[in-house]
Amino acid sequence: MSKRFFGTDGVRGTVGSDPMTADFAMRLASAAAQVLVPRGGTVVIGKDTRLSGYLFESALEAGFVAAGADVLLLGPLPTPGIARLTQELNADLGVVISASHNSFVDNGIKFFDGGGSKLSDEVEQRIEERLDAPAITLESQSLGKAKRIDTALIRYQKFCASSMPDGLDLAGLKIVFDGAHGAGYKVGPRTLGILGADVIPIGCSPNGRNINEGCGSTQPELLQLTVPAVRADVGVALDGDGDRLAMVDEHGTLVDGDQLLYVLATARKERGGLAGPVVGTVMSNLGLEHALRARDIEFRRAAVGDRYVLETLRDSGGVLGGETSGHMIVLDKATTGDGLISALQVLAVMKRKGRPLSALVAGMPKYPQTTVNVRTEKRLDPGRSPAIRDAVAAAEDELADTGRVVLRASGTEPVIRVMVEGENEEQVVSLAERLASVVAESAD
């Protein structure tokens, strides 16, 4: 199935360039309304803190109202909060205006269905089929209306706090919270504070242009310096739209999504609350798989993208999944990846066990992993090249049971990502470079 505009996480691009224009946003809203809200209904719209959010909020509002849908405007709110309020407000569709961890010059639009889940590829395809037509405008008596929901932040804050296990709070924990100058800049510190933590906020002063700039889960260096400097117990970092999580232990050491998944899975296993397999992706560190296997926890790999992790969880009956990047899914707490809720679950384990984060992750070794991006003149399927297949087979034979090789084409650009992982870092780097050379030669 080929889609022109929807990627793995909605539509995204540079503001002012196709498709991120006001005209496209209106047509997208009109098409989505015709497919998903054909007889009128309710749509909620939320956004992160980018300056261009005002532009797209207005364009989407106009497109939906003109097509007969009522619109509820939530204002700045993390992506998972918008998914939650889509359910709570009995809306038919949730719309997020965000480019996640990208800089402020980009923006994006993604959707949730009435159940707070991302749309299927098939539904996105149906929306795309209508995008070449102008936005529709119904007669006056059939138009929708719009209003702002002033309680959105409080509603989501209460929902996040309620995800903490009964009887547990965060009293006694000193936490540095990095909001990436993004959608979680208010709700993160407030929720942690309400639960009793001593909170030191950084990256919580958005100006419309500084989202993800030198802060947040994708640039955690400031958090790593701040945690030991203020003698905090732990650091928590979200990305711009609040669905990605990174944490920092008491020493300032970064703890990634694989390690956090290990902490949650082993804690649940000990308490008898782990259902189904734990789901990662083809890029999840081999150390996670081996550490879970040693504790009799089944591990499965999905394609890269939190939507595919979610699909695998639902198909297998699992509740815990995530990506190395920090897209964590705790399916019995939220319908989609939620950075703040995932952080609260890790903090609950720390509080219950009375152990620092560094001790909780010590049982999972991280194998050396190298990724080389090979740019090609045109899109290339590495699995169709005999030379690449032979090179991969030779590398896998050399690694035996001590490593993995993954080659995958980028979904957004003509790039082949060559990933090699194993116990020996020198061997891993050498094999990655060798495979990248073969891919480059095959692409000529």
Q: How far is Cα 331 from Cα 342, in angstroms, rounded to an integer?
A: 10
> Active-site residues: which are they?
100
Least confident segment among 27-31, 263-267, 423-427: 423-427
- In sequence order, the 6+-apart residues with CB closer than 8 A to the CB of 96 are 10, 46, 47, 79, 82, 108, 109, 110, 111, 112, 241
Least confident segment among 105-109, 177-181, 244-248, 305-309: 305-309
pLDDT tens-digit profile of 140-167? Answer: 999 999 999 999 999 999 999 999 988 8
The mean of the pLDDT values for the chain is 94
pLDDT for 414: 80
pLDDT tens-digit profile of 300-326? Answer: 999 988 889 999 999 999 999 999 999
- In sequence order, the 6+-apart residues with CB closer than 8 A to the CB of 5 are 11, 19, 28, 128, 131
pLDDT for 138: 97
- What share of the chain in percent tops pLDDT 70? 98
239 Rama class: left (phi>0) / alpha (psi -120 to 50) / beta: beta
- In sequence order, the 6+-apart residues with CB closer than 8 A to the CB of 104 are 50, 51, 52, 208, 209, 210, 211, 212, 213
Give the residue-averaged pLDDT of 14-40. 95
Q: How far is Cα 134 from Cα 383, in angstroms, rounded to an integer?
A: 40
Q: How far is Cα 300 from Cα 279, in angstroms, rounded to an integer?
A: 5
Give the residue-averaged pLDDT of 23-52. 96
pLDDT for 442: 85
pLDDT tens-digit profile of 160-189? Answer: 999 998 889 999 999 999 999 999 999 999
Q: Is the pLDDT of residue 9 over 90?
A: no
pLDDT for 1: 52
* Joined tokens for residue 363: 């049982």
Q: Which structural domains are found in the chain, ordered by start?
A: 11-150 (3.40.120.10), 156-254 (3.40.120.10), 256-338 (3.40.120.10), 369-443 (3.30.310.50)
pLDDT for 16: 97
Q: Phi/psi of residue 262, each to 5°?
A: -60, -45
